[in-house]
Chains A and B, each alone.
Chain A
């Protein structure tokens, strides 16, 4: 067996997609303002909750501060453009031209997402000082730092796959705007970006654990903020890996059905 690198078309598509970031430029600006405003409001609420106390339920206030800040950054950075792309292509019928490529539709969409993430990397770097200004960022220990990087990469994959799955909903719904709006609100809450999962009542926590959103935000943020350390960090990492496997399976299942369902809009 010979080991080959990724097919060159990956690079070509990623490069192409990175060059069209200007389409989303305004959207990303507003999204950034929204994320920072949200962080600001969350911090006001939580500092009121903490009052003079230094810890609630075993969570120190500076840990919480770091947690909320890194969560806000992740919410900003993690991909969801893939859902918009897939949804639009189905809605306009453009998917027809994607389907006649020798490179699978799913790979094309993932390459577009990678490309747009790369195109937006400068904007993502910008958000860090903004978040530090609003909140607080304290660098984690070396082991937590390394684990966080791994966890972040996994979160990126979970996010890409989740929003790809949402986009594929377009084969049934035609327009996924409503579903996307619902899920982005739900993901804000259920990912633990507003309320850390530690503080959620049991019933809600179970729901959160049944959905992939916490694997995008809560799990990496709890590693970054040092709430989880040492070998215990294996648990969130494995949960993320499990989600990636589940999502790949689900996407394959949905895709197989979508092909029979496909109607090309607009002739």
Chain B
């Protein structure tokens, strides 16, 4: 559904000149500085997939999305979205895609939300009957009844984002691009947003490409993720594989009863092979287990044989931490 091949986008800006009269000299300089925002991104997304597109700030996520939506023309490379080269046939592409920018609204600021939706219906040639069905369905699903008549400028961020999502899917586009759709939203609003994306994907088979910094979005919605940094793809695969590849270990937290303090100290000081101690207090300790060396069950069996365990929990490492490690690892090579 979405196919990109070696997309590159470079931007040019005048070089800032330091020293005397720097402002004047900067103004008249002909020297240009090139920066590469996207550096050979290739990706392929099938119909009905929800793919998370991750990367630190300035990694090139939004620039990629802007090329795939036809807003920007790439410096080189090709792409097709639902069979159309987006920047070559903007208006045909526009009918196939919905786009939500978390940081910017596509609604008409001065108009009531309802009026904006009606205008979008007209723009995308939605049949009146169809329009009413879709509109009513969206109003109900996104709970927008209360603020339909309010001008967009007076909506709260959460309400506005719901309006923007409704605007993006009103004409039933087969592809949906979401650029940080949950940024700045509270927990409830985020959850409502995710539920809606899931619902649209399930009922309409909408293909979704979503950028976010919120890893709960990813874990909840995306079967697959792409991680990019400095304009290049670092990882492309099932979400579960990120953990398998970058953080295969499991975390084991144990709490012992009062008389187990000494045994616990001993375990923490010299853990068995394949186990490392992450933290230890008097009655609680956390261990990291590498399951390729020793099965988690074997470790638990050994621990419970030796210490009077009161409570025990096995955790997967959190997505947040893994992604942070991936970003930081890149940072070092800069």
Tell me whether A104 and B91 are in contact (CB under 8 A): yes
**Contacting residues, chain A, for B103 (C-beta < 8 A):** 266-267
> Is A182 engaged at the interface, CB distance under 8 Å to the other chain?
no
**Contacting residues, chain B, for A101 (C-beta < 8 A):** 91, 94, 123
> Is A5 engaged at the interface, CB distance under 8 Å to the other chain?
no
> Is A263 engaged at the interface, CB distance under 8 Å to the other chain?
yes
CA A73 to CA B131, docked complex, whole Å: 43
> Is B243 engaged at the interface, CB distance under 8 Å to the other chain?
no
Residue ID in chain A nearest B87 by CB atoms: A259
- State how many residues of chain B have any CB contact under 8 Å with chain A: 31
CB within 8 Å: A-B pair count? 69
Tell me whether B106 and A97 are in contact (CB under 8 A): yes
Residue ID in chain B nearest A21 by CB atoms: B110
Tell me whether B119 and A263 are in contact (CB under 8 A): no
The stretch of B46-54, B68-76, B309-317 in contact with A is B68-76
> Is B11 engaged at the interface, CB distance under 8 Å to the other chain?
yes
Set B11, B62, B99, B111: member contacting A100, Cβ < 8 A: B99
Main secondary structure of the interface of A (DSSP, over half): loop
The stretch of A12-20, A124-132, A242-250 in contact with B is A12-20
> Is B104 engaged at the interface, CB distance under 8 Å to the other chain?
yes
**Contacting residues, chain B, for A23 (C-beta < 8 A):** 110
Counting chain A residues whose Cβ lies within 8 A of the other chain, the interface size class is 20 to 34
**Contacting residues, chain A, for B115 (C-beta < 8 A):** 16
Tell me whether B110 and A99 are in contact (CB under 8 A): no
**Contacting residues, chain A, for B66 (C-beta < 8 A):** 96, 264
Tell me whether A16 and B108 are in contact (CB under 8 A): yes
Tell me whether B124 and A96 are in contact (CB under 8 A): no
Tell me whether A99 and B111 are in contact (CB under 8 A): no
> Is B202 engaged at the interface, CB distance under 8 Å to the other chain?
no
Tell me whether A99 and B104 are in contact (CB under 8 A): no
> Is A262 engaged at the interface, CB distance under 8 Å to the other chain?
yes
Per-position 1/0 for A4-40, Cβ under 8 A of B: 0000110011001001100100000000000000000
CA A222 to CA B53, docked complex, whole Å: 62
**Contacting residues, chain B, for A93 (C-beta < 8 A):** 104
Tell me whether A16 and B111 are in contact (CB under 8 A): yes
Per-position 1/0 for A77-100, Cβ under 8 A of B: 000000000000000011011011
Residues of B within 8 A of A (CB): 11, 62, 66, 69-73, 87, 90-92, 94-95, 97, 99, 101, 103-106, 108, 110-111, 115, 118-119, 122-125
Residues of A within 8 A of B (CB): 8-9, 12-13, 16, 19-20, 23, 93-94, 96-97, 99-104, 259-260, 262-264, 266-267
